Structure 1
């Protein structure tokens, strides 16, 4: 027996054994008497306001007008754009730019940006959640390109955090987006684009 194994054996003899975790029972015991929703009306307006507070560009459009709005935003930035499988083809029908479906990780740095959908959005916090399912692509697609255009449908917007979390699958790889990537680690000087896209634009489809 090695010294390491001997130490661990002694620790095991001192620390009492813990009963097996009962996740369902533990979850059921959580007190949920807190306020679950702070807003009933104006949820889309609140989301737009909070997302803009994070220095993201927010646009509002009808579902029918989405192709035109997306085409205009991409035309303003020449180059190829990464788009994931599952993003509705009709959204991209008017896009003049080159579209790269499911780009390889090695090609992401050469893209002008990425266009994705989302899994949910939280009006109270201005947070958009991606679970990287259909229409969202892998996490790298939302982090490597310098520009990210996210389409949020009205039905995906939850007023507050508890309701949003109930819509999400905790086993999925969740990415929570609150504005463009930014840090103030060095002398409290804000620098954008360090850990993700420098520019974030959000289209809320009503």
Structure 2
């Protein structure tokens, strides 16, 4: 009678043995009959509407007005800035008010953080960070009480399938749908427990 260990190792061997279908091939062969896109028009309007539904504040600005919009949003004293954030976004902010790549111990003393994102999803009003350039490590966007995210129009995908295709699953992904919120046993909503209490989004849209 074989042991549990031998049985488990035998199963692993059969999966990894000769003749198995490569994972990439098997993944490609999966049938996906679901509707990939629910919206063709008004994608940016939908994203702004759904994001606001989550109690986030959304500003739509022309790309040329982005530096001014960022400066107007940052009303506190000092903000965290991740490496790789475009310098022109902060052109109208006093450099003395910016903490570039601050350490963990500094984050709680800052008024907030400014980042970009990897992709945004119109259907769900969700913003995804993959913590690449301009987004910072995960702690940078979870500890401060305020998060300002800049989303460019080309980063907004109509629906989840298209958004996921733009992301690298090997990267650490953070999905943000409004400010951090939870409810206690009596269903009283509490914001700011697991992340920023306030989420503000600047969506850059070229004027017609």
TM score, norm. by length of structure 1: 0.91
CA distance in 1, matches of 2:132, 2:71: 23
What is the SS of the residue equivalent to 2:3?
helix
CA distance in 2, matches of 1:109, 1:115: 15
- Residue 32 of structure 2 corresponds to which residue in structure 1? 32
Matches for 1:145-160 after TM superposition, within 5 Å? 145-160=144-159
Moved more, 125-134 or 14-23: 14-23
**Structure 2 stretches lacking a partner, 5+ long:** none
**Structure 1 stretches lacking a partner, 5+ long:** 1-8
Which of residues 11, 26, 29 is equivalent to 2:4? Answer: 11
- Residue 144 of structure 1 corresponds to which residue in structure 2? 143
- Residue 121 of structure 2 corresponds to which residue in structure 1? 122
- Residue 6 of structure 1 corresponds to which residue in structure 2? none
What is the SS of the residue equivalent to 1:19?
helix
CA distance in 2, matches of 1:31, 1:136: 34
What is the SS of the residue equivalent to 1:191?
strand
CA distance in 2, matches of 1:185, 1:131: 30
- Residue 71 of structure 2 corresponds to which residue in structure 1? 71
The CA RMSD over aligned residues, in Å, is 1.3
Moved more, 143-152 or 89-98: 89-98
What is the SS of the residue equivalent to 2:102?
coil
Are positions 1:45 and 2:42 aligned together?
A: no
Measure how far apart 1:14 and its partner are: 4.2
Measure how far apart 1:102 and its partner are: 0.5
- Residue 187 of structure 2 corresponds to which residue in structure 1? 188
CA distance in 2, matches of 1:85, 1:172: 17
Per-residue CA deviations over 1:5-59 (Å, capped at 9, x if unaligned) read xxxx710344552412731122012112211100111000000000000000000
Per-residue CA deviations over 1:71-124 (Å, capped at 9, x if unaligned) read 00102xx22100011111111011146000011111100000000000000000
Are positions 1:87 and 2:85 aligned together?
A: yes
Per-residue CA deviations over 1:109-158 (Å, capped at 9, x if unaligned) read 00000000000000000000000000001011110000000000000000
TM score, norm. by length of structure 2: 0.91
Q: Number of aligned residue pairs: give it.
A: 196
- The runs of 4+ residues in structure 1 deviating greater than 6 Å are none
